[in-house]
A and B are shown apart, each in its own frame.
Chain A
Amino acid sequence: MALDPQAQAALALYRFGLGPRTGSIADIASDPRGALLAELDGAGAGRIGTADLLTSGTAARVAFAFQQAQRAARQAERAVQQAAAPSGRASPPQMNDQSVTPPPAPVRNPGPGLPQQIYLAEAKARIQAALGAEIGFLERLVWFWSNHFCVSADKGNVRQICGVYEREVIRANVLGRFSDMLLAAESHPAMLIYLDNTRSIGPDSIAGLRQKRGLNENLAREILELHTLGVRTVYTQEDVTRFANVITGWTFVPFRQDPARGGEFEFNPRMHQPGAQTVIGRSYPDAGVQQGRDVLAVLARHPATANHVAAKLARHFVADEPPPALVERLAKRFLATQGDLKEIAKTLVTAPEAWEAPRAKLKRPGEWVVGMLRAAGMAPPDIGPVMQAHNLLGEPLWRPSAPKGFADESAPWLDGLAQRLDIANQFARRLGAEADPREVFEQALAPLASEETRQAVLRAESRPQALALLFMAPEFQRR
């Protein structure tokens, strides 16, 4: 491909990263591939500052306490109303409140509740990581895997732990082993709640025999269909049911039972279906929680999983119809390294096919919004408008509409093009005179831009219009 070094650097930033900031193209122009690889070697790569963010156990417990207090307050208010006495007022607890004692309850106009406060703090940390990244390749990998193993804040009680889920499950393993990420995801309370495994009870377990409630196959099915082997591959409905039996009892500690550990993962043998299970032709003796771990370990190294993950990675980063040679290269590497995600990421950015595909993919909304902020050198003090843009464009953060996650193909995102124009227009107006479109163009788009795009930007009637056109240009939208 006859790209000059500047264009090659810009391509690296667009296709594998989160877009150029001032100086990034020049910084990596001498060796774009090397720069991408270097981002994988940074100390603590993928982790983000956790000092002011909660662990998932703490987040779950403070949110539970908050909800309890709210309930109590509502009851008290009803009682007060009945007694026609004046009501007291109190402020909502803050999220840095690590205590588990029920905080005083908000009575009126409490603002965002505690789960939402936690959610927003996590979202802010994620956006800041995206804005602060040199290239953003590692962040893109985090986003990819987070979407692969997605949970949704819209499911009850996931809101307060979906952000920390990404840190504890995805970031912690983004350059580790696929098998470790898989186990971390499927045993995290966020996933167990999201895909109903906390309700799933082995029919012949102690709890099952007593409660007359039973199996829920949701998590087992999505593990096979979405997280590992892929749909219509090597498994049958019987495999789904037996695997669901295997993971009965994977749940979290009830808050009332253990105030110190409530909300953390536990294997509850009283819910677990006893006995050996055969999953995809292999028998697993009942070894409690180990039975499920064993199945996950086998799934993680299955060739169908390698193919599924390889195709999805290539589709996400390179092309809706990815080059077969690239998919094969990635799948081989997956199998050869026992799912070493760092090695697979390296293979992705060193494969020639990954650079040769035309820049036809439409950026996902989040990539595009962050790309604008990076190009304009803006760090918003308030993430409200950024979150709102995600919502308007159909990619609300950590809120996919289905377990499949947000689409990796371009087509569904084309629908939001008109909304992108409105957002680009408003964003450009807010930037106003703060950003010089000529400078933004040179720093963020010039090596990839057509002459028509250059002229459209430079001949705009005002700086805001120039920036809006820049952000809407095909070369800025596609990667």
Chain B
Amino acid sequence: MTPGSIERGEPMTFNRHAATRRELLIASGTLFAWAYLPKVARAEGRDPRLLVIVLRGALDGLAAVAPVGDPDWLALRGDKALTLDGKPPALPLDTFFALNPAMPNLHRLYKSGAATIVHATATPYRERSHFDGQDVLESGLAKPGAADTGWLNRALASLQPGDRAGGSRDAFAIGPIAPLVVRGPAPVLSWTPRRLPPTSDDTVMRLMELYHHTDPVLARVLEERMGLATIARAGGMDGEQPQAAGAGQVRAYFAESAGTAAKFLARADGPRIGALAFDGWDTHAAEGAVSGRLAILLGALDGAIAAIETEMKDAWRETVVAIVTEFGRTARINGTDGTDHGTATVALMAGGALKGGRVVADWPGLKLAKLHDGRDLKPTTDLRAVLKGLLQDHLRVDAAVLATKVFPDSAAVKPMAGLLLRA
């Protein structure tokens, strides 16, 4: 493929943020002539790719990767607990942890050494606001506050550009708005899918609940128009999930977004660093870890991982996909068969560059006394350690820069070693 070309027939629209005239030219067709390659890594003969996926809404880590070997697990989650003899059975990872059955691709990668899971991990944020939690996760700052740049972008900006392609440093984002994690001084290219994802079932349910409480006329109209007359009334949202209708669309959107990101990252002259965000993980009611809403989302995420592997082709062996979320959820199931905002959760990594096949966890246990605030899985691994480990060993970001600029005031948080095959 020649530099600057775009595959025929591919519906791609580029938006360059803060576009100048020159940048518009790039956006209109010469994108890949400006590719960026980390210089140190290149000197080592490597060409690493890093794709960060942010799960917005707080993923229930215990429902994604269950501690089936923990003696308190069944008592905690009861019939909502993932088990090795469940229907369908959870997928064993080691003698202690098992993966949600909606994620066979991730399981396969794990078994082949190309996936790593970190459990009981969290950012330094200890409150329970989505907006603030997402800011901390994506900004890399220790506390919420006005943040307009993300850690991934600052990491990129700190690197010496490779000499091959003219010195530009492009990050890559999927979606109409670049996630905060990838925004900052380094230029950001973005690609917007032809169709934005449909309004999620979760948003519809929240709106229906609001209308039921405040505006019966609007409630009735929305129910009729959306064919949702069977939705359980608020307060008793334990009825059937109005799912299925959107499941295919969710899968398609996840796969298209992730697959497209991989296509760009795979190209010889493409960007090397990318980010995208998937919404919908805030499972307060009718979580459906095994066969409901969360299972659909995890299945769609699993499909996205598979799409990345496929589209990366040979570059898969130099790839790391890091999947992170702002915080976890309560250890117990709440009164509406869901979980509320919690603290520690999982980080999922996949990619051929990983030294995988491991669950990394300093397991805190699930007994009441071991739970954070008596309700959440206790964080024992700082998520920044994981991310710093990736950035240091995969992209060769300098340790001092990691401690001051990428994750400010994080000198005490040592980069996690040994995540990569070639450290």
Contact = CB atoms under 8 A, between A and B. Distances in A.
Contact of A461 (B178, B199, B279): B279
B211 A461 contact: no
Interface in A442-479: 450, 452-453, 456, 459-466, 468-469, 472-474, 477-478
B159 interface: no
Contact of A429 (B177, B211, B222): B177
Contact of A434 (B175, B177, B221): B177
Contact of A456 (B130, B200, B210, B218): B210
A233 B210 CA distance: 44
A418 B203 CA distance: 12
A462 B222 contact: no
A430 B190 CA distance: 13
B214 A450 contact: yes
B198 interface: yes
A457 to B, nearest CB: 9
Contact of B218 (A461, A464, A474): A474
Contact of B226 (A418, A434, A461): A418
A414 interface: yes
B412 interface: no
Contacts of A426: 196
Contacts of A425: 196, 198-199, 203
Given A461-B281, A466-B131, A474-B215, A415 B56 contact: no
B280 A472 contact: no
Interface string A13-27: 000000000000000
Interface string A416-450: 01100110011001111110111000000000001
A258 to B, nearest CB: 44
B287 interface: no
Interface string B301-334: 0000000000000000000000000000000000
A477 B218 contact: yes
A414 B224 CA distance: 11
A301 to B, nearest CB: 40
B221 to A, nearest CB: 5
Interface in B116-173: 130-131, 134
Contacts of B199: 421-422, 425, 468
A432 B4 CA distance: 29
Given A429-B177, A469-B207, A462 B279 contact: yes
A418 B209 contact: no
Contacts of A477: 218
Nearest to B216: A474
Given A418-B226, A462-B56, A469 B131 contact: no
B282 A432 contact: no
B177 A430 contact: yes
B131 A436 contact: yes
B58 interface: yes
B210 A430 contact: no
Interface string B178-217: 1110010000000000001011101110110111011101
Contacts of B215: 474, 478
A462 B207 contact: no
Nearest to A472: B207
Contact of A453 (B57, B58, B214): B214
Contacts of B218: 414, 417, 474, 477
Nearest to B225: A418
A415 B218 CA distance: 10
Nearest to B183: A433
Contacts of A434: 177
Q: Which of B179, B196, B200, B203 has the most CB of A within 10 A?
A: B203
B222 A418 contact: yes
Interface residues of B, number: 38
A466 B179 CA distance: 16
A414 B131 CA distance: 32
A459 B285 CA distance: 13
B131 to A, nearest CB: 6
A478 B214 CA distance: 12
A461 B222 contact: no
Contacts of A464: 279
Contact of A465 (B178, B179, B206, B221): B206
Given A433-B180, A464-B279, A452 B210 contact: yes
B176 interface: yes
B378 to A, nearest CB: 23
A461 B210 contact: no
A432 B175 CA distance: 10
A456 B206 contact: yes
A423 B209 CA distance: 19
A381 to B, nearest CB: 10
Contact of B203 (A431, A463, A468, A474): A468
Contacts of A466: 131
Contact of A438 (B131, B210, B214, B279): B131
Contacts of A430: 176-177
Nearest to B220: A414
A221 B193 CA distance: 50
A73 B204 CA distance: 52
A393 to B, nearest CB: 13
Contacts of B198: 422, 425
A433 B134 CA distance: 10
A477 B218 CA distance: 10
Contacts of B196: 425-426, 429
Q: Which of A422, A429, A436, A461 has the most CB of B within 10 A?
A: A461
B179 to A, nearest CB: 8
B153 to A, nearest CB: 13
Contact of B56 (A421, A461, A468, A469): A461
A460 B206 contact: yes
Given A461-B282, A465-B206, A429 B176 contact: yes
B327 to A, nearest CB: 11
A180 B279 CA distance: 55
A462 to B, nearest CB: 4
B20 to A, nearest CB: 15
A123 to B, nearest CB: 23
A460 B202 CA distance: 10
Given A436-B131, A466-B131, A469-B206, A461 B57 contact: yes
Interface string B346-378: 000000000000000000000000000000000
B268 to A, nearest CB: 31
Interface in A382-424: 414-415, 417-418, 421-422
A461 B214 contact: no
A437 B213 CA distance: 21
A434 B183 CA distance: 12
Contacts of A432: 175-178
A414 B221 contact: yes
A407 B360 CA distance: 63
Given A421-B199, A433-B180, A469-B206, 7 more contacts: A421-B203, A434-B177, A456-B207, A456-B210, A461-B57, A461-B202, A466-B131
25 contacts: A417-B221, A421-B199, A421-B222, A425-B199, A425-B203, A429-B177, A429-B196, A430-B176, A432-B175, A432-B177, A432-B178, A433-B183, A452-B214, A453-B210, A453-B214, A456-B207, A456-B209, A459-B130, A462-B57, A462-B131, A463-B134, A465-B203, A469-B206, A469-B207, A472-B207
Interface of A: 414-415, 417-418, 421-422, 425-426, 429-434, 436-438, 450, 452-453, 456, 459-466, 468-469, 472-474, 477-478
Interface of B: 56-58, 130-131, 134, 175-180, 183, 196, 198-200, 202-204, 206-207, 209-211, 213-215, 217-218, 221-222, 225-226, 279-282
